Structure 1
């Protein structure tokens, strides 16, 4: 799967996320967030090398239950899941290395 370019208009439920099979990278943020925009190029570079990794780009904000269920406080927050369970997280990653570091945990799943 290639990088998701647009934030999802509606978020999946926590139960749906918990039921995902395999590896999934959740990206919480907002299209107007400068930190989120800055992370897009390194994220695209990393995801281009991992076409099999599921990427869900979720718009977050007040009243959004999925982000709250993962205790997201800053954007972007990347959460790597295996079988719906969090195995790694990066908050405001700005480099390829920062993103690669959490994806390195995929081998431990």
Structure 2
């Protein structure tokens, strides 16, 4: 699992074209909520190795985050073949992350 948020984000049309299961996580390395959520997210991803995970640094003027209307961090957008099927904002337990993950990867 990627530890840091990528500062370079793909274009929205590239994300929309991704096949299969993808989770786009928006946040920053200095965000306390993001740091607290990392063990929960990592735990769920350990059971879903086939799911693509994009960690994208967000902030003012970041186009990808704005296209998803991100307001709070971390926000996890769960995609199936580029279409959003679930979203979690500031997850606080593995159950909620696991439930959203099961929508895109019922492993």
Q: TM-score, normalised by structure 2?
A: 0.95
Aligned to 1:76: 74
Secondary structure of residue in 2 paired with 1:50: coil
Deviation >6 Å, runs of 4+: none
* Distance apart, 1:17 and its partner CA: 0.3
Q: Distance in 1 between matches of 2:18 and 2:29?
A: 25
Give the alignment partner of residue 94 of structure 1, picking from 87, 92, 95: 92
Secondary structure of residue in 2 paired with 1:55: strand
* Distance apart, 1:98 and its partner CA: 1.3
* Distance apart, 1:82 and its partner CA: 0.7
Q: Distance in 1 between matches of 2:39 and 2:95?
A: 12
Runs of 5+ in structure 2 lacking a partner?
Answer: none
Give the alignment partner of residue 66 of structure 1, picking from 64, 67, 84: 64
Runs of 5+ in structure 1 lacking a partner?
Answer: none
Q: Distance in 2 between matches of 1:18 and 1:9?
A: 19
Give the alignment partner of residue 49 of structure 1, picking from 36, 47, 50: 47
Equivalent residues, number: 106
Q: Distance in 2 between matches of 1:72 and 1:78?
A: 9
